[in-house]
Amino acid sequence: MKSFISSLVFAAVACGGEAARNIAVEIVEPANGAVMSGPDVRVVLVATGVEIVSAAEEREGTAHHHLFVDRGSTSPDDTIPSGVTGILHLGRGQTEFVLRGLASGEHTVIALLANWAHLPLRPLAADTVNFAVRP
């Protein structure tokens, strides 16, 4: 898996130019449809074609991860708000986050890449997984 990720990163770098960049995000954990032991579930994110940095870095070609937990994403035209239940900014450039105290049952997590202004990247780079926490 690690070498696979490395080759993806290498391919993205090797492709060069801004226009050729294909920016994407994938939730690699939990797997879609997974049944997890709760109540804490680790979410692991892999971004390609963009550098994941702290939200404090105002630089083109960078982004940070956002998670929408058990709710829809906000409009792609609007900045992603702070202080809203179920909306998480991984603003220190984290690529993992542990969701704590999830209830047993079905859950949905949407990942979305946005820039330092918390404005979703265009074209949209998003991924969704559905999983369940065992009673």
d(CA 30, CA 34): 6
| Whole-number Cα distances in Å, 29 to 12, 35, 85, 120, 131 | 22, 11, 21, 22, 10
Give least dist CB 129 to Cu ion, A: 20
71/134 with CB nearer Cu ion: 71
Give least dist CB 14 to Cu ion, A: 29
62/131 with CB nearer Cu ion: 62
Give least dist CB 117 to Cu ion, A: 8
Give least dist CB 91 to Cu ion, A: 5
Residues that bind Cu ion (CB under 5 A): 89, 118
Cβ 83 vs Cβ 94: under 8 Å: no
Cβ 66 vs Cβ 90: under 8 Å: yes
d(CA 54, CA 36): 29
36/125 with CB nearer Cu ion: 125
Cβ 125 vs Cβ 106: under 8 Å: no
81/123 with CB nearer Cu ion: 81
